[in-house]
Structure 1
Amino acid sequence: MKQFTILLFAVLCVTTGCSVGPKPIDYGNVGCHYCSMTIVDKQHAAQLVTEKGKPYNFDAIECMMNHLKDENEATIALFLVNDFDQPGALVDATKATYLISENIPSPMGEYLSAFTDEAVAKETRTKQGGELFTWMEINNRFKL
């Protein structure tokens, strides 16, 4: 009986809790892993998912970037950010285009937003001002 229980637990873990993929953010009810603020902004939140499937939620992209300063990025399977143009949609952070515009406040005051579509990012920059960055550029900027 004990072996059956262990086997059942292992199968349950493999089929449910241990999958690597985006996890829905419970906006308004979950806190930021970095700063502990409640995550409410669906345009600026972010998420890291480890190789083991554990999600870490952030209220702002800048919190995720600051957390990465002390994180072994090799243990991270997914880097995700909210698409500014599609609130609540988590997208691949490594493929996003980033805009820093003082006309678009973000929760932690870095004015950092992410866009899936580079053309939309450029259009937003035209309207709001600011500077565009790639994932590598924004990652390097926060590691300074």
Structure 2
Amino acid sequence: MKRLYLLGWAIFLLLAACQQSGFFDFKSGEFQCDNCRMSIVDMRYKAEVRSPKGKLYYFDSIECMNDWSKEHPDQVGTQWVTNYYDPSQWLDAKKALIMVGNNIPSPMGGHLLAVATEEEWRRAQKEFGGKKVAHP
């Protein structure tokens, strides 16, 4: 009986330790946006939300993530965006430098992109002429 009790605790602790956090990287076309249902293909704009319980929601753009998050505030734990110049690099949306500008061709027309560094910010500024916005 004691072994069964210890085995139960071991399984519980193992499952608790496996709870996911952070982002999940994925390939172009693998998921649809949880807001607009478009296929996520332009990886420079992709974004994710992880709920407090660990469920992931995928978005084709920062604007879709923002719209969905406003409608589902209880499902928002952490928010992640990709670096426009390095889509394999995920950024905490609260720490990312986010730009809005009419010349940014984001998938849903919200004209938003994210970068990680001031150097990338200056590069995007020259390329698109946008301005910094605070993450909502």
Matching of residues 1-144 of structure 1 within 5 Å: 7=8, 10=12, 13-16=15-18, 18-72=19-73, 75-135=75-135, 139=136
**1:20–1:105 Cα change, 3 Å:** same
Q: What is the deviation of 1:10?
A: 4.7
More helix by share: 1
Q: Deviations over 1:48-75 (max 9, x none)?
A: 01121111010111100000111225x5
Q: TM-score, normalised by structure 1?
A: 0.78
Give the letter for the 2:104 counterpart. Answer: I
Give the letter for the 1:14 counterpart. Answer: A
Say if 2:61 and 2:106, in contact at 8 Å, map to a contact too: yes
Give the letter for the 1:114 counterpart. Answer: A
Say if 2:69 and 2:76, in contact at 8 Å, map to a contact too: no
The percentage of counterpart residues that share the same residue type is: 30
Task: Flag structure 2 segments of 5+ consecutive residues without an equivalent.
Answer: none
Q: State how far apart, in whole Å, the 2-side matches of 1:39 and 1:14 are.
A: 31
Q: What is the deviation of 1:24?
A: 1.8
Match of 2:71, SS state, is coil
Match of 1:95, SS state, is coil
**1:40–1:9 Cα change, 3 Å:** farther
**Which stretch shows the higher mean deviation, 119-128 or 81-90?**
119-128
Q: Deviations over 1:3-62 (max 9, x none)?
A: 89xx4875664344x322211224212111111111111110000011211110101111
User: 1:142: which partner in 2?
Assistant: none
Q: CA RMSD, aligned part only?
A: 2.4
Count of aligned pairs:
132
Match of 2:94, SS state, is helix
Match of 1:56, SS state, is strand
Mark the structure with the bigger radius of gyration: 2
